[in-house]
Amino acid sequence: MRGICGGQNLKLQRLQIPDSRSLATERQKLALWLAEWRIHQAMRQVSDYAPPALRSDTAEADRMPAGDDMAEETGQPLLAGQIRLLRPDCVNSKTTRPVYVLLLAREGVNSWTIAPFSRFAHPALPGEWKTFLSAAPLRVLCLWNARKADDSILQPAWLCGKIGAAGIASCLKMLRTVRDGKTPTRVETRRTGPPLAHPLDPRMEYMMEEREIMEAHLALAPAVSGPTSLSFYNLPCSTLRKAAEKRSKYEKTKRSRKL
């Protein structure tokens, strides 16, 4: 079974059922992420809620650099390890939230491999990586959504911080693991999210949204992660509740769809 996400072909492969200890850990990871997802979805239902980028007040905008001040903020050369906040007006972006990206490696003369940070504090997938940074928007890096971006898009972006050489090396190593569809080491899995357990998992919707956000910002910049294996456990229906979707929906689907 194949799907398209993050601009890349995803192979959905079966794995053996993990032992009870690791399964409990993955279930706990999933519960943490699902709690954030449900809060996010509930906020979308509030009629008077608007993301910060859409609010009418200008207090936040007044604090942003402009004119010559902006040139000072964005004129610094692009370097590996920089964390930059993409400017939503660069490519007529339709996104409704700030998007922070990490510059991973130079790709040719005028482009970089970058990876966006997640909107959530907990990794959703094996391709998401805990950074241990304290800032809320920078706690999880979405390596599965890594892609190329031109200097013309990254240079105007605001420079927000930097990750050291050792941190970049770890990110690049994990990116290769994600790109090649390899299984992370036991130590690495402590920093990654749980595997997908069912095609109706809401993380599928989350991945689609994140892919579309990056495409809007980067004008369909091609993904660089390559074919990626997303781990699907062949679990009994009572475990990890295929947990991520409603019971009635799963019970209806399992008769007609089989991984």
Number of helical (H) and strand (E) elements in the chain, helices listed first: 9, 10
Question: What integer is the mean pLDDT of 8-24?
Answer: 55
Own/partner pairs, 152-155, CB within 8 angstroms, 24+ separation? 152/110, 153/86, 153/90, 153/91, 153/217, 153/218, 153/219, 153/221, 154/78, 154/84, 154/86, 154/101, 154/103, 154/112, 154/114, 155/74, 155/78
Checking if the pLDDT of 82 tops 90, the result is yes
β-pair partners for 129: 141, 192
| Strand positions, DSSP E, 78-216 | 82-85, 100-107, 111-116, 128-130, 140-142, 147-150, 158-162
Which pLDDT value is given to residue 95?
54
Give the model confidence (pLDDT) of 172-229 as tens digits. 999 999 999 888 888 899 999 999 878 889 999 999 999 988 888 886 555 554 444 4
Work out the average pLDDT over 72-88.
83
- The predicted-structure confidence for 230-249, as pLDDT tens digits, reads as follows 444 444 444 444 445 554 44
Q: Please report the pLDDT score of residue 191 as a whole number.
A: 93
Neighbours of 108 (CB within 10 A): 9
Q: Give the pLDDT score at 20.
A: 59
The pLDDT > 90 percentage for the chain reads: 43
Q: Model confidence over 37-66: pLDDT tens digits?
A: 999 888 877 755 555 443 333 333 334 344
pLDDT at 108: 86
Mean pLDDT of 92-108: 80
Instruction: Report which of residues 17 and 99 the model is more confident about.
Output: 99
pLDDT tens-place string over residues 119-175: 999 999 999 999 999 999 999 999 999 999 999 999 999 999 999 999 999 999 999
Of residues 96 and 65, more confidently modeled: 96
What ranges do the domains of the chain cover? 2-41+71-253
Q: What is the pLDDT at residue 181?
A: 86
pLDDT at 71 over 50: no
Residue 40, pLDDT score: 87
144, 128 contact by CB (below 8 A): yes
Question: What's the pLDDT at 151?
Answer: 93
Of 48 and 22, the one with more pLDDT: 22
pLDDT value of residue 80: 96
Please indicate whether residue 1 or residue 85 has the higher confidence score (pLDDT): 85
